[in-house]
Structure 1
Amino acid sequence: MFFEPVSTELSFEHDGDKLVGDLVRPPWPGPHPAVVFVEGSGPGGRDLGSWPTRLAAAGFASLAYDKPGSGASTGDWTRQTLADRAEETVAAVRALRIRDDVRPDAIALVGGSQGGWVAPLAATMDDTVAAVVTVSGPGVSVLAQEEYRLRHQLPAEGFTDTDVQQALVLLHDQIHRLRSGEDPVRVHAGQAQWHDAPWYPLLAGTTPRSIAFLAGIADHDPARALTALRCPLLAIFGADDLLVPVDDSVRAISGILRDAGHHDHEIVVFPRADHNIRVYAGEGPAQMSNGHYTPGVRAPGFDELLVTWLQRHCPRSGGNRRNQASSPSWSV
């Protein structure tokens, strides 16, 4: 007998936009616990590779959708704040909750990278969210994360300390000028002398639209959402992440949740894993060969951890736990 999940296109509305995605569920009768995927930065889409199938095999329905202005969805993600994205995530949860094939009390959020800021914030806006998983979700502010990324990603790509310092200058210049009310087109044009620099494409803001988006989210600090979070949280990191300050994030998340009296959380760091929780042969993160990265493999135990944690907190029947278990931070 072949295992073949059932896939259905699902659409919902938020702020005048029509968001379109795929709902993938097990082939056996429901209702099923469910997951809403919360995309990271950039356009983003519903293609999440094998994850919907993996979750369906574990008994979960899952929804992944095109971000506004991407794929079949209308709108423009560059005009959103992280609060807008969180409200959109809540709209996705509500679209699942009314379905007969989904358990309304067992819907979790899985947010990757930038989605790791969005998912906890969404959970504070809707207390029916059963659990949150963040994968490489920073525990620091957007600006702090961008500074870290430039200081670590650029040298890993072969750029000099001088390049890093100039990139940081441009980053702060973009944010300062937009905060002062300057038009993003003018800000972008004002940095024209750097547009052909080999490292310039690695900036988060390289067009008027992306500069405006970055400036609009730069002040976001996850502390407020984490303080207000009531559902269980699993935060996963790769120790060799060049994009997110892992040690600072682990410290911040564990400290904030401890002070807030939140006890049902786990923080897991996979050694030698990168931002995508992949490991590579050799020393350090992704290895270069002939100008290309060598392919990595998912860190051993990552898939099992995510699935079994979700099964514990969003079971197929019975109530889910809220704020009851111990709260270790550990490396595997």
Structure 2
Amino acid sequence: MRNSNSWRKPVIIVGIALAVVLAAAGGVLLGNDYRFTQTAVQIPTPDGQLDGVLTMPRTDSPRGLVVMVHGDSAVDATQDGLYSPWFEGAADAGFATLSWSKPGVGGSTGDWLDQSMDDRAAEVSVAIDWALGQTGIPTERIILWGASQAGWVMPKVVATRDDIDGVVAAGTAINWLTQGRFNLLADLDHENATEAARAQAVAESDAVRGLLDRGASYEEYREITTDDPPMTAARWAFVARNMHADATADLRASAVREIPILLLIGEHDRNVDVDETERVYRDVFGSALSVRRVDSAHSLARPVVEDSALVGALIGTVWPRALLAPGVIDAYTDYLRAID
């Protein structure tokens, strides 16, 4: 899956500069005062450790734990602070949240680009088992929250465990290859590409897929690609390892658990064919599924946030709750409150 957090770095870089200016001017960033407490945690794994954060609600009787499963790219435990509205939404429903930096990010050991989707699912289970062994972490109810690429991870976890009580899927896809083609064509449409440019982009995409199908070397990819910048060798290996991912069978295996599923969909998602995702999820989960469509891009942020780094930076600095589309966090909190 292509990087669904492409807007994140410029937003943060510009946002930091703006925060410094506002702080120097004596501005009080009330929008960054959240209704939760947060502590750093270290989760031991067979390969080292994962550095994470545990967010707790400000209540004496927390009801359960949300376990965050990231999408693509090198994401840290808080996604540079952009997870805070999600943390707060869970806390308002009485849920703690556990999140960690991907392997190789921050203090987490390893390299997330060395992982398969099965590896990622195993990592999530390690984190859940760790939480179950800790005093003070409310694990009476365990909910998986996952974005984008997590759609190929969470069903594997649910299918192999009997202690998952719900799933929140945000902008998840079904098939890696068809998702990539959808993303390519949607971006070309968004850019008003000419027919010649479209034909060239599709032809190159087909050529790259052909190289991947026959296990070609990274050097062969570099000889034909016009990507600027091109994939790194590590990214090439990651894609080759995961390109045949398809969530359908794992979704069907997970449906046996009959737990409530919330699917959050952005109406302006150019990364994922959300109509396909909703169709498959409805077929698999039936009445266990709730779907909420919002006026957002793939990340569930307001479209203007993804289209303008400056606007995103201003909102992210002064009132980060407003980065996400209206209704997103309300739907999330309502879902958690309804969990028995």
Which of 189, 193, 199 in structure 1 is aligned with 2:222?
189
Amino acid in the other structure paired with 2:269: D
Structure 1 residues 174-253: aligned runs within 5 Å:
174-184=208-218, 186-192=219-225, 194-195=226-227, 200-201=228-229, 206-229=231-254, 230=257, 231-253=259-281
- Asked if the contact 1:175–1:214 (Cα under 8 Å) also holds between the matched residues in 2, the reply is no
Structure 1 residues 45-64: aligned runs within 5 Å:
45-47=76-78, 48-64=83-99
Moved more, 5-14 or 239-248: 5-14
1:110 partnered with 2:145: yes
TM-score computed with the length of structure 2 as normaliser: 0.78
Render the CA deviation track for 1:16-69: whole Å, top value 9, x for unaligned: 141111011124435541111111101111122332233223311101110011
- Asked if the contact 1:142–1:219 (Cα under 8 Å) also holds between the matched residues in 2, the reply is yes
Structure 1 residues 166-177: aligned runs within 5 Å:
166-177=200-211
Whose RCO is larger (CA < 8 A, sep 6+)?
2
Which of 16, 28, 47 in structure 2 is aligned with 1:16?
47
TM-superposed CA distance for 1:159, in Å, is: 3.8
Paired residue total? 295
Gapped regions of structure 1 (runs ≥ 5): 314-319, 321-332
- Asked if the contact 2:168–2:261 (Cα under 8 Å) also holds between the matched residues in 1, the reply is yes
Evaluate the alpha carbon distance shift between residue 171 and residue 88 of structure 1 in structure 2; reply closer, same or farther with a 3 A threshold.
farther
Gapped regions of structure 2 (runs ≥ 5): 1-32, 316-321
Report sequence identity in percent: 26
**Equivalent residue, structure 2, for 1:307:** 333
- Asked if the contact 1:178–1:212 (Cα under 8 Å) also holds between the matched residues in 2, the reply is no
Q: Which has the higher strand share?
A: 1
Which of 300, 305, 308 in structure 2 is aligned with 1:277?
300
Q: Distance in 1 between matches of 2:35 and 2:331?
A: 23
Amino acid in the other structure paired with 1:190: E
Amino acid in the other structure paired with 1:36: V
Query: Which 4+ residue blocks in structure 1 deviate beyond 4 angstroms?
Result: 285-297
TM-superposed CA distance for 1:141, in Å, is: 0.2
Backbone CA RMSD of aligned residues: 2.8
The secondary structure found in structure 1 opposite 2:246 is coil
TM-score computed with the length of structure 1 as normaliser: 0.79
Amino acid in the other structure paired with 2:133: I
Amino acid in the other structure paired with 1:303: I
Q: Which has the higher helix share?
A: 2
Moved more, 101-110 or 162-171: 162-171
- Asked if the contact 2:144–2:154 (Cα under 8 Å) also holds between the matched residues in 1, the reply is yes
1:130 partnered with 2:165: yes
1:146 partnered with 2:174: no
